[in-house]
Amino acid sequence: MPTETISPSEADLKEWRLEFHRYPEPGWCEFRTTVRIVEELEQLNVDEIHIGADALDPDERLGVPEEDVLSEWYEKATSETNRTDVLEQIQGGHTGVVAVVENGEGPTVGLRVDIDALPITESADDDHRPASDGFRSTNEGFMHACGHDSHITFGLGTIQSVIQRDFSGTFKVFFQPAEELLGGGKAMASGPHIDDVDYLFGAHVGLDYPTGTVVAGLDEALALARMDVTFEGESAHAGLAPNEGRNAVQALIAAAHNIYATPRHREGKTRVNIGEISADNAANIIADRATASIEVRGESTELMEYMRDAVQRHVNTAAEMHECDAEISLTGESIRQDCDGELVDLVSETVTDRSESLSLIRRDALAASEDAMYLMKAVTENGGKATYIGIGGSNPSGHHTPKFDIDEESLSIGVEVLSKSVLKRLS
Amino acid sequence: MPTETISPSEADLKEWRLEFHRYPEPGWCEFRTTVRIVEELEQLNVDEIHIGADALDPDERLGVPEEDVLSEWYEKATSETNRTDVLEQIQGGHTGVVAVVENGEGPTVGLRVDIDALPITESADDDHRPASDGFRSTNEGFMHACGHDSHITFGLGTIQSVIQRDFSGTFKVFFQPAEELLGGGKAMASGPHIDDVDYLFGAHVGLDYPTGTVVAGLDEALALARMDVTFEGESAHAGLAPNEGRNAVQALIAAAHNIYATPRHREGKTRVNIGEISADNAANIIADRATASIEVRGESTELMEYMRDAVQRHVNTAAEMHECDAEISLTGESIRQDCDGELVDLVSETVTDRSESLSLIRRDALAASEDAMYLMKAVTENGGKATYIGIGGSNPSGHHTPKFDIDEESLSIGVEVLSKSVLKRLS
Amino acid sequence: MPTETISPSEADLKEWRLEFHRYPEPGWCEFRTTVRIVEELEQLNVDEIHIGADALDPDERLGVPEEDVLSEWYEKATSETNRTDVLEQIQGGHTGVVAVVENGEGPTVGLRVDIDALPITESADDDHRPASDGFRSTNEGFMHACGHDSHITFGLGTIQSVIQRDFSGTFKVFFQPAEELLGGGKAMASGPHIDDVDYLFGAHVGLDYPTGTVVAGLDEALALARMDVTFEGESAHAGLAPNEGRNAVQALIAAAHNIYATPRHREGKTRVNIGEISADNAANIIADRATASIEVRGESTELMEYMRDAVQRHVNTAAEMHECDAEISLTGESIRQDCDGELVDLVSETVTDRSESLSLIRRDALAASEDAMYLMKAVTENGGKATYIGIGGSNPSGHHTPKFDIDEESLSIGVEVLSKSVLKRLS
Amino acid sequence: MPTETISPSEADLKEWRLEFHRYPEPGWCEFRTTVRIVEELEQLNVDEIHIGADALDPDERLGVPEEDVLSEWYEKATSETNRTDVLEQIQGGHTGVVAVVENGEGPTVGLRVDIDALPITESADDDHRPASDGFRSTNEGFMHACGHDSHITFGLGTIQSVIQRDFSGTFKVFFQPAEELLGGGKAMASGPHIDDVDYLFGAHVGLDYPTGTVVAGLDEALALARMDVTFEGESAHAGLAPNEGRNAVQALIAAAHNIYATPRHREGKTRVNIGEISADNAANIIADRATASIEVRGESTELMEYMRDAVQRHVNTAAEMHECDAEISLTGESIRQDCDGELVDLVSETVTDRSESLSLIRRDALAASEDAMYLMKAVTENGGKATYIGIGGSNPSGHHTPKFDIDEESLSIGVEVLSKSVLKRLS
C-alpha cells in the first residue's frame, strides 16, 4: 500500500522528536542539533549535506549571542557527540543544515523547518507528558516550547518518505537555525540554495489547531524588527558638575518618549514596544550608558520598515540632542509574505484526497511573526511559489509556555501532508 | 557758582523729559525720537552727529520688527516732524544717534543712554502724574515705562553741561535704540564710535532707589538670549493619513520638553522659559507650522551661551527627529559685564564730594538684563574702563508697569553726577 | 404621471438650494436658515413644526460658539428676516427644526438632513458656477462647502413629494444644526422626536460619486471626539522667580507628549492629533495659560472612547504634575453606526426599480465622521432601522474646498430616491 | 606633661584604625564594628553604652538593606566575635553605639563620628600602604575608603583622653552607622541621647587638606534626598494586545522627563539626577515593572525639599497617567546645617593655642552631603551649638577611591583637637 511506504514508521518519528526534545538549544547554539541532523541525513543517504557558510550567509545572521554563550553550548555539544569534523565547521554560531536529494531533471522543491529552542524552563509536573514519560529537557532553562523538535522530525521524515519514491527533480530541506530570534531566516534566504527553488513549503505544528486539522495557507504574519539600542554619553558627578556629563538616560528618555509617539499609519496596523531599559549608575552619577530593547511590527513589511526607520531616526536624533552616541543593533527581523494560491490549492487537494479524518482550513491568519517568510519571499521573487502550512497537534498548553506539548499523531500527519505535497510537484 | 553753570536749568531737563514721555516709540521705531534728539543736538552745537549706519552696525541689529510695523511708525514720525533729511537716513529701523564733542587732545569719554519705550498702555488715573499733569503718552498702547525718557534727558543735559566747560579730549554720547528688545546694544558696540573710548559711563534712573541715592556701580546683570523658533513640517489629514504629515507640533513638544530639562550648571545660575507657543491648525490637521518664543539667562555670559547653545541643539535635533525644518532667530541678547573699580571709585568720589544730600551705594546687583553691557565690554576689551550707574528716582510704581514715574529731581542729580564724572576724566 | 407628482419641480429644488447657498451660516448660528426652513414648511402645510428646545435637547449641544459670535449672526438674521417670533425661540444657539407630517395610523419614518455651513471663503473664480451664476456666498468667509444647502433642499423636497401622496403613518424630517462641529447630532438624538421613529434615512450629496450613482448604505464612519483643553497655572518672572510659577506650557507639553504616545489598540485603528496649541506670554513670563485642540478617532465608538478617555487622563494628570488646573471641553463627538441591511435592500430596490440611468452601489465606506450616527443609533436602539445614503453629484472639487459645487441634477435624484424610499415604508 | 596624658598613645590610635580598616562593613551591617566598639568602650570603662533601639530611633532608619544582605553580614560577625549578647540586640540592622561618660553636674558635650564603609574594592597595589603594610580590607569588595576607620578612632581616642581628665558634666560619643547611605543621621538625631546635648562636635578626616591643617567649621553641606522609585503596571503582549498593558516604562519615561525639567529655584542651586533605570521584559512584552534611582540636592534644606517634593509629585502623577502604581522609597536624606560661630571660635583657639605646627582654616565649604547635620540641627533647635571640623590627613587619593588612605599622624592631631575642644566646654 503506497501510503504505508510513503510515511516512515510512526515509531521513527516519535523517536526523533523525543531525542530533539531532550536536547533543546537556543538560536545559533544548535551545535548538537546540527550534528545529529547531519548524522541522520547521512543515515538517509541524501545526496548533499551543506553546513556552515555553505548553508547560509554568515553576514546576514541576526541576534548571534556573545562569544561566551556560544562557547558554552559548543563545549557541551563537543562533550556529547563525536563529530568534531562537523562541529569545527559550525563553531561560532554557524548552525543549520541544507539537505539535497537529486533525481535527474525536474523542478526544485524545498521544505523549510526550524530547529532552535527557547529559554523557558520546562514543566516537571506529572501532567506534562515529556516529564512523566521521561524525555523532559536535559538542558535546564531551555525547552522546545514551540514545537521545533517536531519540525526537525517533519524535515527528516519527509526526506525519508520522498527519497524512497520515484520522482524527477531536486528536493531540498532547509533546517533553519535561530527562528525564535528571527535571526536565521534572512541569512538562509541569502544563502546559496534558495535561488533555484520553484516550490517551497513551510510548516508549523500546533498553533492551537486540533490534531487532524491542516491549514493549507497561513497568511498575514506580522512583519517585525527587534533592535538593541545603546546610548553612550559621559559620566559626571551630578551634584558637583551637572553640566559636565553627557546624560545617556536623558537621551534614552527623549528617544523612548518619541518612539512611542510614532504616528499611526494609514495603511494598517503598527506596533511598538520598549520592553527592556537599563542604566546602572549610582544615583549621584550622570549615566554614561543606557540601553533599551525595542520591537516594532507592521501589518506589512513596509509598515514594519516605517516603524523601524522611525525608531532609528528617533534614537539617532535623541542621542545628538544630548550629545551622546547611539548604536542600534538589529537583532531580529521578519517580513510578511502571504501564501501562493496555487500551492494552497495543491495542499488543500492533498488533504482532501486523503480517505479520512483530516479537516481542511484553506487559509487562516498566522497571528505571529515568522522568518520563514524571507525564504518564501526569495522563492516568490525568483518566480517560484510558496506556502506555509499549519499542522494541528492539539497542543494542551500555548506555545512558549512550560507545558507546551503536541499530540504525536501529528508527526505522521505532517510528514504525510508534506511528502505528498512535495511529490505532487516533483513527479 | 560752578554747580549752577555745570547743570542745565532744571526747567530744561523737565521739558525734555516731558516731551519724550509724550511720544514713546518702541525699539527700532524711534523715528520721531531720533529726529528730536538730532534737533536738540544741533541746538547744542555738538561737533558731530552720527545717525543710521554711521551710528551703529546695521547687520548686528536684533529684533527688528516687521516692515509694516516699521512703516506705520515711520509714517507717524513723518507727519509729526519736518526733518525728512534725517528720516530718510533712519528709515527701515536705523534709529539711534551718536553725538561727539571734541576739544583738542585728551582721552575719549563716553556716555551711553537708551531711547526706546515699551508696549504698555499708560495709566490714565489721576494719581499718575503724567496723566494728571497732561503729559501722558500720546501713542496709545506704548509708554516710557522704564525711564528711557529720563535717560535721553541725561544724555542731552550732560552734553549741555560738559560743552560749556573747559576740557581736553573727546566726549561721545551714545543714544542707543531698542534696549528693551536687547536688540541695539550689540549693534552699537559693533559700530564705528566705541573703539577709541577710554572711559564709558552708563546710567539708569529709578530701580526702586529713593531720589538722592546713587549707585556707583551696578553689577551682575544677567546675561540673556531670546529666540524665536519656527518649526516647519507638512500638513496631512490626521484621520485619513496620519503618517503623511511631518508634525511641527510634535517637533515643538520634543524640543520644549528637553529644553526645560537642560542640565543645571556648576558655575552658577541659569534660567530657561518658553513663554509663547503657537500652532494654528484645525484639530484634524497635522500642524505644518509651530512657533515658540524662548528665553535663557545665565549668571555669566558663558552660562547664557551654554543655555542658548543647548536650546539651539534641542531645537535642531527635535526638528530632525520629526522630519521638520527649524529656524531659530535670535531676537535679543545681552551679556554680563561688571563695573570697573577705578570708575566706581571716581563716581563714588563725585557723589561724596558734593556738599549735601546724596546717598552713595558703592556697588549693588542689577537684577535685570541690560545691553549696555556690550558697549562696556567693547570698551574694556580695548583697555578702557566702564561703569553702570544707578540714579535713584523714588519711582512710585515698578518698572514696566502702567504707573511707572520718577521724581523729576532725579534728572538734575543724574546730569550733575554724570557730567562731573565725565569731566573728571576729560580735564 | 406619478414621477412628475412625486418629485417637486426641478426649478423649485434649484431655487431652494441657490438661496441657502447664498446665506451660509456656521453651526448653532443658522438663525436665518432656520427661519427660512420654517417659512417653507409653513408654505408646505406640514402638521407640526418644532424649533428650539422642542426640536433638540439644549444640554447636549456641543461646540456652541461664544456669546458674541452667536449675537453677531443673530443680529444679521434679525435684519434679514421679519420673523422675530421664530428668532426669539432660537436665540442663543437653539437652531434646527423638526417637521412632522401625519396621516393616520402607521409606522413613523424619519429623514435627517443637516443645515450648517463652513468657515471657508468661497471661490470667486469664473470657473466656480456659484460665482459665475451669481449665487456665491454673501457671508464672506463662510460657505456651504459640504453640500448642506442641497441637504436642506432634500428635506424640503422630500416633504413636498411625500405630503402629496396617499400614505399611512407619520413622516418626520430632522433639519439638524451644527453637523460640521459634530455638535448637533447628539442633541437631536436626545430630543423628543426620535424615539418613535421606526425607519430613519440620512443622506449626503457628492462624496466624489458621479451624478446618478446612489450608495444605499454608507458604513464605517470613524467615531470621533474633539476636545478643547485649557491649562491654567500661575505666572511668574522666569528670570527672577522660576520656581514661583505654575507653568501651563510645561503641563501642555507633558500632556501632549503622552497623548501622542497613547498605545495602539488591538481592536482596530485609532487616531490622535493636536492641531492647535497656544500660549501667549512674553518669553520672560512663565505661562499661566495654555490651550490645545485635540481630536481622536476610532474605527468603532469604543475605540474612540478609549482614545478620548486616554486624552482626558493625560490632560488631568499632566496638569496635576505641574500644579495647574485643566479644563477639557468636549466640542464635538460622533460615533459609528453601520447601516441596517433591510433598509439598504429597500433603497437598493428603489434605485434599481427606476427605469433608467441610476447606478447602484449597495454599500461603501464613508471615509469621514458624521453625527447623523447618533440619530441612527437612537433609532436602532429602539428597535428601528436606519441607513445613510450617498447621492452622487459629480462634485468638481473636494468637500471643504473653496470650489466645492454639485451638479444640480442630483437634487431631484436625491429627492426621488428619498421620497420613494420613505413612501415604501409609509404605504 | 599635660599634653602627653591628654592624648592616648599614637600606637593605640594606629592599632584601632588598622583593625577597623581591615574589617569594613557597609551601612546597617556594621555588626562586627559595633561589637568591637562596645568591647573597647568596656575596656575604657565608660559609664553607659547604648546600642540598638537605645541608641537611635529604628523607625527613622533609611536605606536599610534587604534581609538577606543583613543576614550575611550578621553571620559573618557572629563567626568573628564572641559577643552574641551584643549581636542579638543589633540584629536586623540596628547597628551603632552611644557612649556616655558622666562626671557630676555640668554641660553635656557630644562628639559624633560615623562608622560605616563603602562598596569599593580596595587597591592591592604596593603603593597603597594598607596593602603593602598588610592591613588591606579582608572583606573583598568593601573598603573604608572615606576614612570612617579614622573617625571611630577619633571617637575612642577622644573618650580615652577625656576620661582621664578632671571635668564637670557629661560627654557623649555618637558612633553613627550608615552615613554613606545618608541613612543613620536622622535616626540618631531622633534617638534618646541628643536632646540634652549643649555642644556638639563632628569631624571628618582628609578632605584633601594636608596633615596639620584643621578647619574649625565646615559649612554649606548640600542637602540631599535619594529615592528608589518603582512603577508597577501590567504586562501584555505588545503585538497582540498593545492596549491591554499598563506600561511601567511609559510611566517611568513620563516621570523622568518631567523630573529633569523641574524648574530652577530663585533661592539657590538645586540638583537632580536619575542614575539608574531598569525594566527587564522581553522586547515584545509591555513592562509591568520599572525602577529608577533618583537623587536631588539643594543649597539649603528647603531647596532639597522643593526638589524632593517635585520628584514625588512627578512620579505619582506619571504613574496615574499610565494607570500604574508607584512606590517611592526614601533611601537617604541629609540637610544643611552651618556651624555655630562660638564653637568655630573655640576650635580655632584650640588650634592656635597649640605651640606649633597646626594650620588653621576658620571656615570652609564642605562640598558634599553629610547626615551629621541632623544631629547638629537637633542640638541647635534645642538651643545648643554645633560645629563640624575638618582634620587634614594628606590623603594621597580622593575619597571614595580604591587608594584612599590617610597620614596616620592625623589621628593624634584629630584626637587632640577634639578632646581639647570638648574639655573647654566641660571644664
Q: What single string gives the DSSP state of each residue in B336-397?
A: --PPPHHHHHHHHHHHHHSSSS-EEEEEEE--S--THHHHHHHHHHTT-EEEEEEE----SS
Beta pairing class for A48-51 and A97-103: antiparallel
Residue A239, chain B, CB below 8 Å: the answer is no
Asked whether the beta carbons of residue C270 and residue A264 sit closer than 8 angstroms, the reply is yes
- Give C377→chain A minimum CA distance, Å: 27
| B330 contacts on C by Cβ (under 8 Å) | none
A31-44 burial code (b ≥16 CB/10 A, e <16): bbbbbbbbebbeeb
Residues sharing a CB contact under 8 Å with residue C336, sequence separation 6 or more, in sequence order: C220, C221, C222, C223, C298, C299, C300, C301, C304, C373
- pLDDT category at D7 given cuts 50, 70, 90 is low
- With CA atoms as reference, report the closest residue to B422 among B163, B3, B109: B109
Residue B273, chain C, CB below 8 Å: the answer is yes
Percent of chain B whose predicted confidence (pLDDT) is above 90: 93
Task: DSSP letter for B8, please.
Answer: P
* The pLDDT of residue C357: 80
- Tell whether A178 and A284 lie within a shared domain: no
Residues sharing a CB contact under 8 Å with residue C90, sequence separation 6 or more, in sequence order: C31, C34, C51, C52, C96
The helix (H) or strand (E) run that includes residue D320 is helix D301-321
Interface mutation target, options C257, C259, C262, C264, chain A, most CBs of A under 10 Å: C264
- With CA atoms as reference, report the closest residue to A415 among A4, A64, A1: A4
| A250 contacts on D by Cβ (under 8 Å) | 260
- Tell whether D181 and D328 lie within a shared domain: no
What's the domain count of chain A?
Answer: 2
Is position A193 annotated in a ligand binding site? no
CATH number of the domain residue B208 falls in: 3.40.630.10
Q: What is the pLDDT of residues D390-422, one digit of tens each?
A: 999 999 999 999 999 999 999 999 999 999 999
Residue C324, chain D, CB below 8 Å: the answer is no
Residue C309, chain D, CB below 8 Å: the answer is no
Is position A148 annotated in a ligand binding site? yes
* The pLDDT of residue D1: 30
List the end-to-end C-alpha distance of chain C, in Å, as a whole number. 19
Asked whether the beta carbons of residue D318 and residue C317 sit closer than 8 angstroms, the reply is yes
Cell of B233: 513640517
Among left, alpha and beta (phi > 0; psi -120 to 50; other), residue B90 is alpha
Query: Which of A317, A334, A351 is at the close of a domain?
Result: A334
**Chains in contact with B, where contact requires at least 3 CB pairs less than 8 Å apart:** A, C, D
- Give D160→chain A minimum CA distance, Å: 38
Is position A381 annotated in a ligand binding site? no
The minimal CB distance from C242 to the residues D263, D318, D320 is found for D263
- Tell whether A70 and A209 lie within a shared domain: yes
Say if residue B251's pLDDT is above 60: yes
Looking at A3-7, D227-231, D309-313, which range is the least confident one? A3-7
A vs B, Cβ pairs < 8 A, gives 63
Residue D295, chain A, CB below 8 Å: the answer is yes
Interface mutation target, options B222, B259, B264, chain D, most CBs of D under 10 Å: B264
The minimal CB distance from A270 to the residues C257, C264, C272 is found for C264
Give the distance from CA C176 to its chain's centroid. Answer: 7
- pLDDT category at A1 given cuts 50, 70, 90 is very low
Query: Which of C289, C307, C334 is at the close of a domain?
Result: C334
Q: What is the pLDDT of residues A385-401, one digit of tens each?
A: 999 999 999 999 999 99
- Give D247→chain A minimum CA distance, Å: 9
B387-406 burial code (b ≥16 CB/10 A, e <16): bbbbbbbbbeeebebbbbbb
* The pLDDT of residue D330: 97
Identify any residues that bridge with C196 across adjacent strands, giving them in sequence order. Answer: none
Percent of chain B whose predicted confidence (pLDDT) is above 70: 98
Asked whether the beta carbons of residue B277 and residue C278 sit closer than 8 angstroms, the reply is yes
Question: Domain range holding C41?
Answer: 2-221+335-426
Measured between alpha carbons, how far is A290 from A251 in angstroms, rounded to an integer? 8
- pLDDT category at D10 given cuts 50, 70, 90 is confident
Task: Please compute the mean of the pLDDT values over residues B258-268 and round it to a whole number.
Answer: 96
Query: Which of D315, D334, D353 is at the close of a domain?
Result: D334
Q: What is the pLDDT of residues A253-281, one digit of tens each?
A: 999 999 999 999 999 999 999 999 999 98
Interface mutation target, options D234, D246, D258, chain C, most CBs of C under 10 Å: D258
- Tell whether C84 and C46 lie within a shared domain: yes
| B320 contacts on A by Cβ (under 8 Å) | 313, 317, 320
Question: Is residue B127 packed enough to be buried (19+ CB in 10 Å), middle (13-18) or exposed (0-12)?
Answer: exposed
| CA nearest to A310 within chain B | B321
| C318 contacts on D by Cβ (under 8 Å) | 317, 321
Binding-site residue positions of C: 146, 148, 180, 204, 400
Percent of chain A whose predicted confidence (pLDDT) is above 90: 93
Binding-site residue positions of C for Mn(2+): 146, 148, 180, 204, 400
- pLDDT category at D367 given cuts 50, 70, 90 is confident
* The pLDDT of residue D252: 98
Residue C328, chain B, CB below 8 Å: the answer is no
Mean pLDDT of chain A: 95
Secondary structure of C43-103 as H, E, C letters: HCCCCEEEEHHHCCCHHHCCCCCCHHHHHHHHHHHHHHCCCHHHHHHHCCCCCCEEEEEEE
Cell of A162: 520522498
Measured between alpha carbons, how far is B367 from C25 in angstroms, rounded to an integer? 54
Q: What is the pLDDT of residues B292-330, one digit of tens each?
A: 999 999 999 999 999 999 999 999 999 999 999 999 999
B vs D, Cβ pairs < 8 A, gives 19
- Tell whether B302 and B347 lie within a shared domain: no
- Tell whether C217 and C348 lie within a shared domain: yes
Chain B segment 43-82 residues within 8 A of C by beta carbon are: none
Beta pairing class for A213-219 and C199-205: unpaired
* The pLDDT of residue C7: 54
Asked whether the beta carbons of residue B283 and residue C294 sit closer than 8 angstroms, the reply is yes
**Residue type for position D346:** L
- Tell whether A216 and A236 lie within a shared domain: no
Say if residue B8's pLDDT is above 80: no
Residue C294, chain B, CB below 8 Å: the answer is yes
| CA nearest to D261 within chain B | B261
Asked whether the beta carbons of residue C275 and residue B285 sit closer than 8 angstroms, the reply is yes
Task: Please compute the mean of the pLDDT values over residues A413-423 and round it to a whole number.
Answer: 96
- pLDDT category at D355 given cuts 50, 70, 90 is low
Question: Is residue D75 packed enough to be buried (19+ CB in 10 Å), middle (13-18) or exposed (0-12)?
Answer: exposed
Contacts 24+ apart (CB under 8 A), B345-351: B345/B216, B346/B387, B346/B421, B346/B424, B346/B425, B347/B201, B347/B214, B347/B216, B347/B217, B347/B387, B347/B389, B347/B417, B347/B421, B348/B216, B349/B424, B350/B417, B350/B420, B350/B421, B350/B424, B351/B214, B351/B216, B351/B417
| Dihedral Cα D118, D120, D125, D129, nearest 10 deg | 0
- Tell whether C143 and C272 lie within a shared domain: no
Give the distance from CA D156 to its chain's centroid. Answer: 17
Residue B306, chain A, CB below 8 Å: the answer is yes
Cell of B101: 564733542
Beta pairing class for B359-365 and B385-391: unpaired
Say if residue B405's pLDDT is above 50: yes
Asked whether the beta carbons of residue B261 and residue A244 sit closer than 8 angstroms, the reply is no
Sheet holding A223-232, edge to edge: A325-334, A223-232, A289-298, A270-280, D270-280, D289-298, D223-232, D325-334
Cell of C157: 423636497
| B323 contacts on A by Cβ (under 8 Å) | 313
Measured between alpha carbons, how far is D281 from D291 in angstroms, rounded to an integer? 12
Say if residue A367's pLDDT is above 90: no
| B263 contacts on D by Cβ (under 8 Å) | 260
DSSP H helical segments within D110-262, as ranges? 129-132, 148-163, 185-189, 248-260
- With CA atoms as reference, report the closest residue to B229 among B304, B318, B300: B318
The minimal CB distance from B295 to the residues C253, C283, C290 is found for C283
User: What are the Cα distances from residue B372, in Å, to B162, B193, B217?
Assistant: 22, 14, 13
Strands (E), D206-302: 213-219, 223-232, 270-280, 289-298
Task: Please compute the mean of the pLDDT values over residues A159-164 and round it to a whole number.
Answer: 95
CATH number of the domain residue D286 falls in: 3.30.70.360
Say if residue A120's pLDDT is above 70: yes
Residue D264, chain B, CB below 8 Å: the answer is yes
Identify any residues that bridge with C97 across adjacent strands, giving them in sequence order. Answer: C51, C175
Task: Please compute the mean of the pLDDT values over residues D79-89 and round it to a whole number.
Answer: 95
The minimal CB distance from A266 to the residues B241, B264, B314 is found for B241
Looking at A129-143, A314-328, C4-18, which range is the least confident one? C4-18
Do B316 and B326 form a contact (C-beta atoms < 8 A)?
yes
Asked whether the beta carbons of residue C367 and residue B285 sit closer than 8 angstroms, the reply is no
Measured between alpha carbons, how far is D28 from D25 in angstroms, rounded to an integer? 8
In the three-class reduction of DSSP (H, G, I as helix; E, B as strand; rest coil), residue B135 is classed as: coil
Give the distance from CA A278 to its chain's centroid. Answer: 27
* The pLDDT of residue A7: 54
Q: Is the dihedral of CA B115, B89, B63, B75 positive or negative?
A: positive
Do C348 and C362 form a contact (C-beta atoms < 8 A)?
yes
- Tell whether B192 and B231 lie within a shared domain: no
- Please give chain C's pLDDT, 427 residues, in tens: 334 444 578 889 999 999 999 999 999 999 999 999 999 999 999 999 999 999 999 999 999 999 999 999 999 999 999 999 999 999 999 999 999 999 999 999 999 999 999 999 999 999 999 999 999 999 999 999 999 999 999 999 999 999 999 999 999 999 999 999 999 999 999 999 999 999 999 999 999 999 999 999 999 999 999 999 999 999 999 998 999 999 999 999 999 999 999 999 999 999 999 999 999 988 999 999 999 999 999 999 999 999 999 999 999 999 999 999 999 999 999 999 999 999 999 999 999 987 678 999 999 999 889 999 999 999 999 999 999 999 999 999 999 999 999 999 999 999 999 999 999 999 7
Question: Is residue D359 packed enough to be buried (19+ CB in 10 Å), middle (13-18) or exposed (0-12)?
Answer: middle
The CA angle A61-A62-A68, to the nearest 5 degrees, is 95
- Give B89→chain C minimum CA distance, Å: 31
Task: Please compute the mean of the pLDDT values over residues A14-32 and round it to a whole number.
Answer: 98
| D275 contacts on A by Cβ (under 8 Å) | 238, 249, 279, 281-287
- With CA atoms as reference, report the closest residue to B384 among B112, B170, B199, B111: B199
* The pLDDT of residue C355: 62
- Tell whether D147 and D246 lie within a shared domain: no
Residues sharing a CB contact under 8 Å with residue C111, sequence separation 6 or more, in sequence order: C154, C155, C158, C171, C172, C173, C174, C200, C201, C202, C203, C418, C422
| C240 contacts on B by Cβ (under 8 Å) | 367
Say if residue B5's pLDDT is above 70: no
- pLDDT category at B7 given cuts 50, 70, 90 is low
Q: Count Cα atoms within 13 angstroms, Cβ side, for A312.
A: 12
Mean pLDDT of chain B: 95
Among left, alpha and beta (phi > 0; psi -120 to 50; other), residue B57 is beta
Identify any residues that bridge with D99 across adjacent strands, giving them in sequence order. Answer: D49, D173
Task: Please compute the mean of the pLDDT values over residues A211-234 and round it to a whole number.
Answer: 96
Q: What is the pLDDT of residues A36-76, one digit of tens each?
A: 999 999 999 999 999 999 999 999 999 999 999 999 999 99
Say if residue A124's pLDDT is above 80: yes
Residue C250, chain B, CB below 8 Å: the answer is yes
- Tell whether D201 and D146 lie within a shared domain: yes
- Tell whether D35 and D18 lie within a shared domain: yes
Measured between alpha carbons, how far is A402 from A392 in angstroms, rounded to an integer? 19
Cell of A299: 501589518
Task: Please compute the mean of the pLDDT values over residues B133-144 and round it to a whole number.
Answer: 96
